[in-house]
């Protein structure tokens, strides 16, 4: 195809190329788009039957790498601000809800909503400020279109957040209660004369106290984070940083509290059964089971949320942003 096309060829082959490049953008074939643009830079002016440009197609299909490639072309400012047949500009396309296949690599409504907000906010910084206030034929600005298109996704994310926070709050509250009581009912009891713990000078006892305190503090922090989620306003902006950050802290501290609770339990048991060394291996094995299960079930979500909130960047860092 690259051998057949040329900037001077405007016949039927050009229409085939336009159709092919729009399909390539939809499927995310970066190399194909790159080679065709190198062979014929004028392909960047291509439009489909609805007047959608290649820039708009890249945004509509959420292909950040292809958008960055197009944005690096010299004529980007002339092409990027063309509107389609319905007066939608490139930022309107970021406000539209893409097809479900675009979310196949994203799990959960919260992460999907966060990804959509990241796309819209970063593209909003790239385009000219005037573009942010333009209205389409329905009389909607890009922000108004985004709100209307993503209302169901926002509601699903709110429901998932509240259900998860409620469940985790119950678990964290139980841990707070248990660890608070354990701090005043220490293994071995207290000396009747001094009131000090019997095993005060034992290393295992200090391990028990430190683990108990860490579990109490981390579970208390977890409860506060989940309560913050339950009492949130659930505005669109909250899904970008506020809610994911609270969920990350809540799940991390809950994981820490479960781990330190098992350490405190094991240390207390070893203190009381020091004459029975055979009990140590099975206790350690069984104590690691709940920590491992929690990690298997929640750690992938925690990693995805952390990467999405603090690591990922939608567009090429070399792209210049409007101030």
In total, the chain counts a number of residues equal to 323
Residues 144-167: tens digit of each pLDDT: 999 999 999 999 999 999 999 999
| Average pLDDT score over residue span 122-132 | 90
Which of 177, 175, 186, 170 is closest to 261 using CA atoms? 175
Do the beta carbons of residue 44 and residue 66 sit within 8 Å? no
11 vs 123, more confident: 123
Residue 323 pLDDT more than 50? Answer: no
DSSP 8-class letter at 108: S
Does pLDDT of 41 surpass 50?
A: yes
Q: Residue 109 pLDDT more than 70?
A: yes
Structure tokens at 261: 């609770």
Tens digits of residue pLDDT in 168-198: 999 999 999 999 888 777 776 666 666 666 6
pLDDT tens for 200-240 read 677 888 888 899 999 999 999 999 999 999 999 999 999 99
Q: How many CA atoms does the CB half-sphere of 102 hold within 13 Å?
A: 21
Instruction: Measure the CA–CA gap between 224 and 242, rounded to whole angstroms.
Output: 14
Residues 30, 311, 294, 279: is their CA dihedral positive or negative? positive
Q: What are the backbone angles phi and psi of residue 47, rounded to the nearest 5°?
A: -140, 150
Long-range pairs of 95-103 with CB within 8 A, sequence gap ≥ 24:
95/120, 95/142, 95/143, 95/144, 95/145, 95/146, 95/149, 96/60, 96/145, 96/149, 97/149, 97/150, 97/153, 98/60, 98/61, 98/62, 102/61, 102/62
pLDDT category of residue 11 using cuts at 50, 70 and 90: low
CB burial of 64-88 (b: ≥16 within 10 Å; e: otherwise) equals bebbbbbbebeeeeebbbebbeeeb
Q: Which two tokens stand for residue 17?
A: 């190329």
The span from the CA of 259 to the CA of 266, in Å, is 11
pLDDT bin (cut points 50, 70, 90) of residue 250 is very high
**Helix/strand number for the chain, H first, E second:** 12, 0
Between residues 89 and 78, the one the model is more confident about: 89
- What percent of the chain stands above pLDDT 70? 89
pLDDT > 90? residue 260: yes
Please report, in angstroms and rounded to a whole number, the separation of the first and last CA atoms in the chain: 40
Question: What's the pLDDT at 272?
Answer: 76
**Residue 279 pLDDT > 60:** yes
pLDDT at residue 12, as a whole number = 61
Q: Which of 163, 161, 169 is nearest to 247 (CA)?
A: 161
Q: Which of 98-112, 243-257, 300-314 has the highest mean pLDDT?
A: 243-257
* Dihedral of the alpha carbons of 289, 294, 299, 301, in degrees to the nearest 10: 150
CATH class belonging to 12-149: mainly alpha
3-state secondary structure 240-255: CCHHHHHHHHHHHHHH
* % of the chain residues with pLDDT over 90: 49
pLDDT, position 223: 96
Over residues 42-70, the mean pLDDT reads: 91
* pLDDT greater than 90 at residue 138: yes
Cβ proximity of 303 and 243 under 8 Å: no
pLDDT reported for residue 270: 79
Copy the structure tokens of residue 295: 């990690």
User: Residue 202 has what DSSP assignment?
Assistant: -
Average pLDDT over residues 30-47: 88
* Pairwise CA distance, residues 224 & 213, whole Å: 17
The residues spanned by each domain of the chain are 12-149, 153-311
* 285-314: pLDDT as tens digits: 877 888 888 888 888 888 889 988 887 677
Say what the pTM is.
Answer: 0.84
Strand partners for 197: 190
How open is the CA angle 98-147-129, to the nearest 5 degrees?
Answer: 90
Q: What pLDDT score does 132 carry?
A: 92
């Amino acid at each position: 195809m690259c051998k057949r096309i040329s900037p001077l060829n405007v016949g039927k082959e050009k229409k085939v190329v336009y159709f092919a490049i729009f399909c390539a953008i939809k499927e995310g074939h970066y190399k194909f788009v790159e080679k065709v643009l190198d062979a014929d830079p004028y392909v960047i002016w291509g439009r489909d039957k609805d007047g959608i440009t290649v820039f708009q197609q890249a945004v509509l299909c959420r292909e950040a790498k292809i958008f960055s490639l197009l944005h690096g072309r010299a004529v980007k400012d002339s092409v990027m601000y063309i509107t389609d047949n319905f007066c939608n500009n490139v930022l309107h396309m970021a406000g539209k809800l893409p097809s479900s296949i675009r979310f196949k690599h994203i799990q959960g409504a919260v992460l999907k909503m966060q990804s959509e907000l990241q796309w819209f906010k970063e593209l909003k910084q790239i385009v000219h400020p005037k573009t942010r206030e333009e209205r389409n034929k329905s009389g909607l600005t890009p922000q108004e279109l985004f709100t209307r298109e993503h209302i169901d996704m926002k509601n699903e994310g709110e429901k998932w957040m509240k259900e998860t926070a409620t469940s985790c709050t119950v678990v964290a509250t139980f841990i707070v209660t248990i660890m608070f009581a354990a701090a005043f009912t220490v293994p071995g009891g207290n000396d009747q004369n001094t009131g000090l713990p019997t095993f005060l000078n034992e290393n295992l006892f200090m391990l028990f106290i430190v683990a108990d305190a860490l579990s109490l503090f981390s579970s208390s922090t977890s409860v506060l984070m989940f309560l913050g989620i339950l009492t949130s306003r659930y505005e669109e902006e909250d899904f970008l940083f506020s809610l994911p950050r609270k969920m990350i802290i809540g799940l991390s501290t809950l994981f820490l509290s479960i781990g330190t609770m098992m350490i405190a339990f094991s240390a207390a048991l070893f203190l009381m059964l020091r004459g029975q060394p055979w009990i140590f291996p099975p206790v350690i094995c069984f104590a690691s089971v709940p920590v491992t299960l929690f990690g298997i079930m929640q750690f992938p979500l925690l990693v995805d949320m952390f990467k999405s909130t603090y690591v990922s960047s939608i567009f090429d860092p070399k792209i210049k942003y409007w101030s």
